Amino acid sequence: MRILLTGPNGFVGARIALAADCIPCPSLRGARLEDVLRIVEETRPEAIIHTAAISDMGACQREPEESRHANVEIPLLLARSAQGAKLVMFSTDQVYNGNGNPGPYREDEPISPVNVYARHKAEMEKLVLELRPDAVMLRATWMYDMPLYRGDNRGNFLMNIIKASLAGKPAAWSKQEFRGVTYVREAAQKALEALQLPGGIYNFGSETTLSMYGTARSLMDQLGIRAELEEAGPRRNLWMDGGKLRRHGLAFMKVEDGFAQCIRDYALNG
């Protein structure tokens, strides 16, 4: 299958590019409809996996117009230009950030995004699905990995824990925050499998019943890190129910099992 991959040098996109032979899309920053049409006509993809975004929530708050162009308008241009290609687009668990009930949240429940980034992702889901009901929206969790050579290696859960340990500083995580964290290499493979899904919205990532404090303790125990762990941070619930994805045969490892796989892949024990 000919797959056009946006964001091929990003945190998620670079791992998808390692997992499959994709056509790397040039930067879409500032792109117009004719630019996207030209790229699609030149590459003739059978599928488009869209990972490119402005995902820095602080940057989105400071520059909402840039955020909307990147996170709403560019996906719409892709949907208008796709010429029948299957669309898989990354959204975010942040759309659940303002929900008042305890979760875990299903895709058919109301959402309450509280920041610019999440509101734009929610708007993107709605507008793209109105245009292309067969498009697949993946509400992704926070993802982690070890650094990738010459890749996007932004801060992530695993590296934050390791860096705190190496610096001799206590790691601080909340007992009142619940969300999944996902091994990005598993997510990259599942994103390719998502090309077979019927259109709609899917919670996308590993699940756990642990708080972020408990999740951090689980990772530290598996790594053999004996550093101090403090209780601090927000009261927040981004806890998603992955049942819909499982019913379509795409089951993620539990968070704790994802840690174990990552540790084996990188021989991080000890």
> How does pLDDT run across 48-85, given as a tens digit for each residue?
999 999 999 999 999 999 999 999 999 999 999 998 99
Question: pLDDT tens, position by position, for the chain (270 residues)?
Answer: 999 999 999 999 999 999 999 999 999 999 999 999 999 999 999 999 999 999 999 999 999 999 999 999 999 999 999 989 999 999 999 999 988 787 899 999 999 899 999 999 999 999 999 999 999 999 999 999 999 876 666 779 999 999 988 888 888 899 999 999 999 999 999 999 999 999 999 999 999 999 999 999 999 999 998 878 888 877 788 999 999 999 999 999 999 999 999 999 999 975
Rounded to a whole number of angstroms, the CA Rg of the chain reads 18
Report field, pTM of the whole predicted structure over 0.75: yes
CA distance 135 to 145: 27
Which amino acid, residue 30?
A: G
Residue whose entry in the numeric block shows the structure tokens 């892709």? 78
Q: What pairs with residue 201 in β-bridges? A: 137
CA distance 137 to 49: 10
